[in-house]
């Protein structure tokens, strides 16, 4: 990615008008996520780097891997839209995943002219490894908290469990168990 690409992304970012309180909450969440993301000395980033995948390929693989189980095969155009990249960029990313045997192109059952992208067993294994490394980092961070800090964090996170997207991810992680 070139500096001009980064500038275009930054210029294209738009946020709705938010209150100073929401801005403060966002700043606190950003600080926490930055700290937690790097708390494990960058092990998650190291696994991604050592996999040889680009960021787009990594995001695509994680999107195809769902919450730890393979989800239905997706069209390249759908993946591009979900991940906010161009269709040609997504096609190149998928080509790389196919070459590494992390994904495969399959024929659409309803329209044989349409090709879909599906995660392979090897791709699923890499997604699982990423999830194990991430979970281990989270557990290490949680263990570093005092009991009072952990209770407060649990209460804050618990208040978000009525969101289906968060609750679904949590339920899946509980089923998978500790790293």
Q: pLDDT tens across 65-80, in order?
A: 876 555 778 999 999 9
What confidence score (pLDDT) does residue 179 get? 42
- The DSSP 8-state label assigned to residue 119 in this structure reads E
Q: Residue 158, Cβ neighbours under 10 Å: how many?
A: 10
pLDDT in tens, 104-146: 999 878 888 888 999 999 999 998 888 888 888 888 899 999 9
Residues 24 and 116: their CA atoms lie apart, in Å, by: 42
What confidence score (pLDDT) does residue 48 get? 87
Q: Which domains does the chain have, with CATH numbers?
A: 20-144 (1.10.10.10)
Q: Residue 81, Cβ neighbours under 10 Å: how many?
A: 13
Q: Residue 47, Cβ neighbours under 10 Å: how many?
A: 17
């Amino acid at each position: 990615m070139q500096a001009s690409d980064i500038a275009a992304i930054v210029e294209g970012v738009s946020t709705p008008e938010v209150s100073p309180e929401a801005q403060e909450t966002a700043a606190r969440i950003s600080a926490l996520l930055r700290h937690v993301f790097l708390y494990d000395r960058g092990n998650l980033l190291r696994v991604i780097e050592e996999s040889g995948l680009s960021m787009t390929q990594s995001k695509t693989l994680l999107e195809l891997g769902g919450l730890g189980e393979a989800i239905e095969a997706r069209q390249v155009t759908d993946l591009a839209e979900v991940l906010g990249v161009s269709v040609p960029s997504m096609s190149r990313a998928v080509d790389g995943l196919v070459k590494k045997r992390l994904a495969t192109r399959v024929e659409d059952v309803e329209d044989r002219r349409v090709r879909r992208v599906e995660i392979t067993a090897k791709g699923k294994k890499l997604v699982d490894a990423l999830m194990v490394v991430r979970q281990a980092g989270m557990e290490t961070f949680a263990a570093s908290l005092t009991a009072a800090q952990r209770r407060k964090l649990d209460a804050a996170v618990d208040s978000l469990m009525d969101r289906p997207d968060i609750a679904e991810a949590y339920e899946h992680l509980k089923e998978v168990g500790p790293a």
